[in-house]
Amino acid sequence: MTSYSVEVRREGTWWMVAIPALGGLTQARKLAEASTMAREYISLTTGMEIDDIHVEVTRIRVEDIDVTESLAGIRDARARAAELDREASERATALARQLSHAALPMREIGGAMGISFQRVAQLISPRS
């Protein structure tokens, strides 16, 4: 299977699909059709069987908005948020266990931490 990278940009009501490796350009009415249109263009241009062609959309642009770049930033932010959430959970568990070892009742731990005593029980459980 041969892979090609394509770049897609919105122009009016059409999606323009650029195939840099071939210097080619085709169009699609819907973004979901961009890969199919690129594969058809590549097949016609190279003579390859369409089933032997893999297309990866590497860039999507709408006017001056780089959708691909924005999505990469969103994914990075979500990954950082997930890491911070994991760290906060570990700290909450550690604090609940410290307070439990200090013989504080679960209801008091919950009150101090702003969580339910049921959540405290989950945090201090050896399984968490």
Q: What is this structure's pTM?
A: 0.73
The full set of domains in the chain, from first to last, is 2-63 (3.30.160.250), 70-124 (no CATH)
Give the per-residue pLDDT at 56.
Answer: 97
Give residue-wise pLDDT tens across range 14-59. Answer: 999 999 999 999 999 999 999 999 999 999 999 999 999 999 999 9
The values of phi and psi at residue 44, to 5°, are -65, -35
49, 56 contact by CB (below 8 A): no
CA dihedral angle for residue 56, residue 2, residue 13, residue 66, rounded to 10 degrees: 30
Give residue-wise pLDDT tens across range 63-79. Answer: 999 999 999 999 999 99
Question: CA triplet 65, 66, 71: central angle to 5 degrees?
Answer: 115
- CB atoms under 10 Å from CB of 34, counted, come to 22
Angstrom distance (rounded) from CA 106 to CA 40 = 65
SS3 127: coil
Quick one: the chain helix, strand, coil %, rounded to 5?
A: 55, 25, 15
Give the per-residue pLDDT at 126.
Answer: 85
| Mean of pLDDT values over 118-124 | 96
Give the per-residue pLDDT at 127.
Answer: 76
